[in-house]
Amino acid sequence: MNDAWFTECADELARCLLDAQTCAEACERFLASDAARVEDVRALAAPAAVSRVLIELIDQPAELVLAAIRLCRELTATAAAEAGTPEDVVTALRAAAGSSAALLETCA
């Protein structure tokens, strides 16, 4: 029986998925608040959506999962640099970007 593609990087994958979930929740919570502006929706909707679906992709081929992780890394890093984003959301975005990068490095 073949091992799953992520056997060698299971710890990094677990960290990435946890950070992605936390990131999605932080973004969604802020976007649902009265403080969110149109610019915030533009900056945070995509990283929240990609972060949210990562766990659903785990059984897909490695190429697809790693492509989604690359997209998550890029979107969360970009969104973290947006001005006006609350610090707790920025922290969650940076954590998701960092653990995505660590997973990609380990799985490469």
Domain residue spans of the chain: 8-107
The span from the CA of 108 to the CA of 105, in Å, is: 5
CB-hemisphere CA count at 13 Å for 51?
33
pLDDT at 4 over 80: no
Percent above pLDDT 90 for the chain: 78
DSSP of 39-102: HHHHHHHHHHHHHHHGGGGTTS-HHHHHHHHHHHHHHHHHHHTSTT--HHHHHHHHHHHHHHHH
- Res 14: pLDDT: 94
What CATH number matches the domain at 8-107, 3.40.50, 1.20.1270, 4.10.240, 2.40.30?
1.20.1270
| pLDDT, tens only, 50-77 | 999 998 998 888 899 999 999 999 999 9
